[in-house]
Each structure stands twice: as C-alpha cells, then as structure tokens.
Structure 1
Amino acid sequence: MNIRVLMLSWEYPPHSVGGLAKHVEELSEALVAKELEIHVLSVGSPDGSRMEKRNGVFVYRIEPYNISAPNFLSWVHQLNFRMVEEAIKLFKQYKTYDLLHAHDWLVGYAGRVLKHAYVTPLVATIHATEAGRNQGLHNDDQRYINSIEWWLTYESWKVIACSEHMRREVKGLFGLPDDKIQVIPNGVDWKKFKAGLYNISFGDGKIIFFVGRLVREKGVQVLLDAAPAILAREPAARFVIAGTGPMEDQLKYQARLMGLEHKVEFLGYIDDATKGALYQQASVAVFPSLYEPFGIVALEAMAAGVPVVVSDTGGMGEIVTHGVNGLKAYPGNAESLAYNILHALQNEVLRQELKKNGKRLIEEVYSWDKIAERTIQVYRQVRDEYLQSPWYKENNVAPGDRPEPGEQEQNYTAPERYSLVERRAGSFSRPERRNWQ
C-alpha cells in the first residue's frame, strides 16, 4: 500500500519517558515492513542527529526553542511551535503526506495546525487521559490538558484507543461517537525476549520484578505494602524495581521505614538488555497499577516466559485472564496482591501453564504484524473517506499537488469562532455535522 504518514510524538527512542516511545517505534517499524512510508517527528537532543533512518523509518528530531520555560505546559507549547516549523520544511520537501498521526495531547496543537494548513486528515492515538491518571480533574492545569485532549479527538478523523477500557474512557470524557473510535491494542516484539538472549546475572533467590515509571498510578507503594506477607512465606525472595519517576525518593523512604532496604533494590533507568535479562531471571513480574490504559510491560513479561501478576484494572485486566495466562489482584489491595504473588511463586504446575498460555497469547493477538494490519485498515478507511469528502473536493486538492499555506487566501472563509468552554458546555448552536470532521 503506497501511503506516506507523518507521525507526531513527543518521545521516540532513544529519548524515552514512558511506554509511548516504544509503541511509536515498534508500530512505525511494523508499518514500514508492510511497505508504508513512515516519517516520525519527535524530540531530540542538541548533540544528536537531526535526521536519521532507523530500521526503515525516517526520524526527524527537534529541540524546543532555547528559551527558559516557566513550567511544563509552556515547554509543550514551544515543542509544538518547533514541530510545526520543522513540518513545514518536510511538507515543502515531500509535497504531501497522506495522513497525519498524532500520539497524545502533547502534540495536539501541531497536529491540528498541520491538518488545516495542508488539508490532510488527522488520526490520533490516545494512550492515556489526564482525568484517568489523576482519578479526576483537580486543578486548572489538569482541566487545561483535558481540554486539549478533547480538542485533539474532536479534530481527528479517527481516534485509536489501546483497549476497550480506553474506548469507554475517551467516549465518556469527550463525547465521541462510537464510529469515531477504533480499538487497536499495543503489541510486543516477542523475538526481543527469547530465552538465552541476554547473559546478565542478578544473583540467587526468587526475583519479584517490577519495571515502569515510579508514579502513584503504577502502584509500587502497594507492592511494598505486600512485601512483609510475601517474605514471611518466601524469606529468600527479593524485590527488584526498575524505573524512575517523581515517587522514587518516597518509595525508597517507604522501604527503609518498613525495614526492607536489604530486600528491595531500586535500579533506576535500565536499558533493553538489562530489562530482558531481568525478565528471564525473574520468578514473577508484578504490575500493581491503580490506573493502566493498556500495560505493555505485561506483554513483555509474557513474551519472556515470566508468570505475571497484575491489578484487575483498565487494559491490564483485559490482557490477563485470571488463572489462564496470569493472575489478577484487586487494585490497591496489598493482601490480594501478596496472595497472588505467593500463588505464582509456589505452584509450579500453575507457573508452567501461565507461561505457555502467555506466549500463545502474544503470538496470536499481540504481535506487531497483526497490529500493523489493523492500523493500515484505519488508514485506508480514513484515506478513502477523505477523498470522497466535501473537505477534499472544496479545496480542489489532488494527491501530490496540495497547495502551500496561503495560496488559497482569496477563497478563504473564516470559520465561526467559539471557545472550548462554550463548546464543552454546549452553549453554542451546533453546526450541521459534516462527514469530513
């Protein structure tokens, strides 16, 4: 399928903050394997390459302006200005992109500007929501981010959610119609977790392994609360926690306060080789999230052949079938978490069954090859609808012959203006819905 896509993402390896970077990278590479032309515009570093071709993907890296940003939201604004600036050069060089694909609210401004400037349909993947992360909206910054999330979904032709949980969440939060949302899960490259691939030793004893951002919603504090009950039955067990985040010092203090510093090891950030080795040596991988739109780490653990224990929440609860390919604990319940971890550690027959079924699930449902196919179906649908839409026809745009911004100024009519607050409150007269919006 001859189609060129410009992806917008605020992170892309090696610049990685969370799971989004890995998702965009592996999805892009899987789409390239299906003969799509994928260009990714993302954040770089001053000493890094501005453009490179990584495994067939054209990656363009930019740095926000060298202006001191007073807060994160201001930094995001600067990032979007720089993305638009760089994208103008890319559109001038390549003449056209068939689709724009924006990942999360952090690139929402750039996605919206490029959509209208170049009359190009926009697809958005919502990986998580501000309301979900914080279990509500409690201050002006959170409400502002929520409004940008709504704006991005409103401007997008299709919205991709990574789980049924996320589909329900974005539908409820943003009032999206069912036919605008497409559920496509995250995937995992199981070949990166084959047995014997890594030769790093982490000592003796049963390893209870967690990897992820150290933030409240990942639930590491619950795992520490469960540790005494686990150690009472498995005194040789060790807890290995990998990742960084704003709760790191608080979690270390909690471990010291509980007298667990000799049993809990905080590794900080780890590379893929170290993570792969830990998966292979772990006795159980534990992900006690309080909020989890999907949970790609659970797929990685399954691919590596490690029994998984997760909280029965969000997308994580959809991946794991209790007692079949993993075990599920009640969210935020240390007693339930300890019980399930001990069950996974002490029942060898169950352990082997969980390993076997977990690997089968990865191969049959969560391979990137299958996920790329489903993404291409969305791209094809959007492209076909766009070519038949009044938006395309009114702008008289032929593929490969799109106008530069400003060429059609004489024919331009400004749209009716209204604020996000008015739009959300429904205090304006809703225009007749057009099938290209």
Structure 2
Amino acid sequence: MLLVRHGKQGLDFMASRVLMVGPSPEAWGGVATVEKNILDAVASTGREVHFVATMRDGSKFTKILMFPQAFFEVRRELRQCDVCHIHTALGMSYKRKYLICKEAAKANVPYILHVHEGDFENQYEHMGAEEQTKVRWMLQNASRVIALSEEWRSYFVRKFELANIVVLENAVFVPQEVSEQKDPTKFYFLGRMCPKKGVDTLLRAVRCLLLTHPETKVMLAGGGEELESYQQLANELGVGRNVEFLGWADDLMKARLSDECLTSVLPSDAEGLPMCVLESMAAGCASIATRVGGLPSLIDDGVNGLLVEPRDPEGLAKAMSRCIEAPDWARMIAQRGRQTIIERYSMKAYLKKLESIYEKVARGSE
C-alpha cells in the first residue's frame, strides 16, 4: 500500500520506495541540477529517495572505476524498491543506463526512463544499428518514458510509437526576491563550452553588437575541453575585452550573475528544456534563447522572453540590442518570465506530477 507523507513547505510525497539512478547531483550540468532539485524537494517532505550516482566529474579513469561499484549498489537496492527512476542522455550515459534498465527488468522492478538529451534526434540517427536497438529496447520496455516537453513527446511517439510516454517539464525553486539593480549592458551564458550550445554564435553576435554598443559585457560560465579554443576565437574576433570566461558556475556564481545582468543568453542548436533558462527567468532576468526543443513551449517570443533562430549571430545581436536600448521593456519581459515560472514551473507543482507518475508505475496502472 502506498502512503502519503505530509511534509514541510506544503509539499507531499508518496511513500513508495524509489531508487533513483543518474549522474551525481554534484556534477556539472543540467541533469545534475534536475536531480538535485528533486532530491531537495523530496527532502523537504521529510522522506528520502535512495540515489545511486553512476558518474562523477573527474578523469576518464575515475569514471570507468566508478560505474561497477554503482552497478552492484543498484543491483542490491533493486531488491527493496518499488520503482527505479533512471536519468539518461545519450553518448556514454545511455550505455551505462542500458545495463541498469536490463537489471531492473531482470529484477521485475518497473523503471522510469527520464530522457534529458536535447540533441536526441540527431545523435540517435548517427548511431549504429546495434546501438539504436539498445536505445529502442530501453524506451519500449520502460514503464514510463519522461519527455521534457510536448515537442519531445511528439517526436518519441512518432519515431518509436511509444504509448508509455508522459511529459514532465523541468522545474526550479523560485527565489523569494530578485535584484532591482540589473545592468542592461551585461549578459550571461551558462552551459558547457561546446558547439551545440552555440558559443561561437554568441561570440560572433557580440562582435556585431559592439558596433553600436561598445559598452556590452558578456560573462560565459561553463567548462569543457573546448574552452581554450573559444577564448582564442574571442580574441580573433576582437571581442576579448568584452567577454569573460568564468569556468563552471556554482550556485553562488549563478546568483551573482543573475543579480548583475538583466539578460541571459542561450543560443543552442538543440535543447530539451534547459534548467539554466528556467533558473534565469525565475531570478527575474530577461531570457534570450533559440527556437529549439521545449523552449517554444516555455517562451512566448516578445512576451515573457525572446526567441531567435539557431546559428544566427545577427539575429541574436539584434535581440541583445533590444534589451540594451529598451531596458524598461526588457524588465517587463523579465517580470512576465518570472511569473511564468511561478505559475507553471515551480517545484511544488513538479513534485505532485512526479508523485503521480511514481504511484501509477508502482501500482502498475495506466
């Protein structure tokens, strides 16, 4: 029998035994942020989800050594749980999670596959036949597949004919108060320094923007193997003095950036529903993002944020210029964006939806 625990802050959570598996919540990136938010929200109800980390930041050797230990812990914990909640992307992530899914199926424990990969369609198409077969097996044998938006739900239904898919849009904790002193000439970016995040597009947009707004400053918070190449590109484009590469951002740095900057920018080629955009909107920043993944479901262009096309430096520069030239308008956009998060993407509503998914999976109901 499933029981409901009544906890702090008005949050309730089902007392079914849940095993959650994914990268460490202390790792860098959006998946870890989602996990951390869930675990913090559940903890506020007075109970816990047992979490097993299959990956931590570190050397390749460290990651290789970690997984066998995690796998045997998962095998042990599957004997005493009702539901296994598995977070995955593609790349190396799916290879680890495929083994976890097989083990859950072997133990007759229903599993939920929470798909975070924003570039899923492209990556899947470039996989070999054997890899595609494994991905299809994971999706089709899950009790539920969680998609991050209606756009992604439609893709999974169309591509894999899934009947077990539900939409659970990412959510964030909303700050009680936000800064009133945000500078319209300052922008910030959060994300891994890699091509699919559109870092080169942002740097080229800055070059366009400096022609009319030489006072512009852009802070880029994120790491990755290509960080140095982007620093070099910034110098080659002549924007090195106007951009600052900060490395990975912890919670304190994120708070500082959202306090200082009126606008956040994420010019990605592909996304699910990025946590950094939700967080910036919750913090009262105007958000400029690309028209990809679940972002059109979140942002109504010109109403609660701004949408631009990917790989369009001129279009991105134009959107950034609007925020500089019309700061009162940008602040109005930011206020509407924050209200959107409060009404649709708060952790309290998210936890209720997740609770319902767990209950149905644990009971074997449709």
Q: Does TM-score exceed 0.5, indicating one fold?
A: yes
Q: 1:346 aligns with which of 325, 329, 337?
A: 325
Summarize the Cα distance change of 1:380–1:36 in structure 2 as closer, same or farther, 3 Å threshold: farther
1:160 aligns with 2:146: yes
Residues 267-416 of structure 1: pairs in structure 2 closer than 5 A: 267-385=246-364
1:188 aligns with 2:172: yes
Q: Which has the higher contact order (CA 8 A, sep 6+)?
A: 2
Which residue number in structure 2 is paired with residue 389 of structure 1?
Answer: none
Q: Share of identical aligned residues, percent?
A: 24
Q: Distance in 1 between matches of 2:251 and 2:318?
A: 30
2:16 touches 2:362 (CA, 8 Å); kept in 1?
no
2:54 touches 2:71 (CA, 8 Å); kept in 1?
no
Which residue number in structure 1 is paired with residue 21 of structure 2?
Answer: 8
Please state how far the C-alpha of 1:196 moved relative to its aligned partner.
5.5
User: 1:145-183: CA deviations, max 9, x gaps?
Assistant: 54443222122110001112221333344x132x31100
Q: Distance in 1 between matches of 2:335 and 2:127?
A: 46
Q: Distance in 2 between matches of 1:232 and 1:342?
A: 11
> SS of the residue aligned with 2:294?
helix
Please state how far the C-alpha of 1:139 moved relative to its aligned partner.
5.9
Which residue number in structure 2 is paired with residue 123 of structure 1?
Answer: 112
Q: Distance in 1 between matches of 2:205 and 2:318?
A: 9
Please state how far the C-alpha of 1:296 moved relative to its aligned partner.
1.3
Q: Distance in 1 between matches of 2:77 and 2:364?
A: 25
User: 1:27-54: CA deviations, max 9, x gaps?
Assistant: 12223444554110004779xxxxxxxx
User: 1:354-413: CA deviations, max 9, x gaps?
Assistant: 121111111111011101101111111112226xxxxxxxxxxxxxxxxxxxxxxxxxxx
Amino acid at match of 1:187: A
Aligned residue pairs total: 348
Amino acid at match of 1:166: W
Which residue number in structure 1 is paired with residue 161 of structure 2?
Answer: 176
Which residue number in structure 1 is paired with residue 87 of structure 2?
Answer: 103
Which residue number in structure 2 is paired with residue 210 of structure 1?
Answer: 189
User: 1:175-208: CA deviations, max 9, x gaps?
Assistant: 132x3110001111112x84369xxx99x88212
Q: 1:253 aligns with which of 232, 252, 274?
A: 232
Q: Distance in 2 between matches of 1:149 and 1:32?
A: 32
Please state how far the C-alpha of 1:249 moved relative to its aligned partner.
2.2
Q: Distance in 2 between matches of 1:18 and 1:225?
A: 24
Summarize the Cα distance change of 1:9–1:44 in structure 2 as closer, same or farther, 3 Å threshold: closer
1:30 aligns with 2:41: yes
2:23 touches 2:56 (CA, 8 Å); kept in 1?
no
Which residue number in structure 2 is paired with residue 84 of structure 1?
Answer: 71
Please state how far the C-alpha of 1:214 moved relative to its aligned partner.
0.9
1:149 aligns with 2:135: yes
1:241 touches 1:265 (CA, 8 Å); kept in 2?
yes
> SS of the residue aligned with 1:290?
coil
Gaps of 5+ in 2: 5-14, 89-93
Amino acid at match of 1:149: V
- Alpha-carbon RMSD across the aligned residues, in angstroms, is 2.9
Summarize the Cα distance change of 1:185–1:270 in structure 2 as closer, same or farther, 3 Å threshold: same
Please state how far the C-alpha of 1:282 moved relative to its aligned partner.
0.7
2:55 touches 2:66 (CA, 8 Å); kept in 1?
no
Q: Distance in 2 between matches of 1:86 and 1:43?
A: 10
User: 1:50-90: CA deviations, max 9, x gaps?
Assistant: xxxxxxxxxxxxx99xx959xx8xx3xx6553323112443
1:207 touches 1:239 (CA, 8 Å); kept in 2?
yes
Q: Distance in 1 between matches of 2:169 and 2:339?
A: 16
